[in-house]
Amino acid sequence: MRSGPDSVAIAVVTIFPQLVNAVSEVGVTGRAVDNSVLKLSCVNPRDHTSDPNRRVDDRPYGGGPGMVMQAPPLAGAIAEAEKVNGQVTGAAPLVIYLSPQGEKLDHSLVLELSGYSNLVLVAGRYEGVDERVIEALVDREVSIGDYVLSGGELAAMVVIDAVARQLPGVLGHGDSAAQDSFAGQGVLDCPHYTRPETYQDMSVPEVLTSGDHQAIARWRRQQALGRTWQRRRELLEEGGLSKEDKRLLQQYLDAQN
């Protein structure tokens, strides 16, 4: 049984709110917003600067290329985001800074984050943000992978989508199957097929049209195990597989020749 909150307020600190707000327009996250399970808002650091040109960046101390986001506008925006979310939830916020220097996001971190009802996501631009903001105001630093994006917004959108999917009622029956795959037991998903039955000389695996639900379930499990072994072996720690799983995997590998 899941023990987390029934809804989450997520406030994103960003100079590109139109980009982040797109998640409330479409798909699973859009429905979550419509159903008030996800309360998404954005706060723009440009609305928290005294600069007449609304600049929020400046040159780095010590020199070098690129610009750094200044502390005061970010701090003002974070305070505003905390206030907005506090009014919505009454809960204390978890403040997350998205950056390639953070701990890498995976399913277990997604589950942990989905335990909070008040998240503030800070999306940086330029070369980064003044370190003193991180020191004083950020609880956790999170990366979505070992590559560099031009800003934290896409990473924030990844976090929003992944967290929203964990909230009760967000996934309809149509989507639930997708959740079983990775979340279930740390194996990759099996292959999927739909009509037409033959496409460019390739036919659907016979078992899937057999009507034998047990055989179909066995085949899907076998495909999931086999693909995980071939593509992401580290996900299958030895002790984790049941005797039946081991038998299915061995049969899959034998059939590969």
Q: Length of the chain in residues, anyone?
A: 257
Catalytic one of 31, 125, 165, 221: 165
Would you say 148 or 255 has its CB closer to ligand 6GU? 148
- Check if the beta carbon of residue 8 is closer than 8 Å to that of residue 116: yes
CA distances from 174 to 138, 224, 250 (A): 37, 20, 32
Would you say 37 or 69 has its CB closer to ligand 6GU? 69
Please indicate whether residue 245 is annotated as part of the active site.
Answer: no
Please indicate whether residue 165 is annotated as part of the active site.
Answer: yes
Please indicate whether residue 57 is annotated as part of the active site.
Answer: no
Please indicate whether residue 180 is annotated as part of the active site.
Answer: yes
Which 201-230 residues touch ligand 6GU, going by CB under 6 A? none
**CA-closest candidate to residue 189, choices 177, 199, 201, 174:** 177
Would you say 88 or 142 has its CB closer to ligand 6GU? 142
Is residue 13 near ligand 6GU by the rule CB under 6 A?
no
Is residue 74 near ligand 6GU by the rule CB under 6 A?
no
Residue 58: Cβ within 10 Å count: 13
Q: DSSP letters along 113-157, please?
A: HTT-SEEEEEEP-TT-B-HHHHHHH-SEEEESSSS--SSSHHHHH
Is residue 144 near ligand 6GU by the rule CB under 6 A?
yes
Could you list the residues that contact ligand 6GU (CB under 6 A)?
98-100, 143-145, 147-149, 151-152, 155
Q: Which residues are catalytic?
A: 100, 127, 165, 180
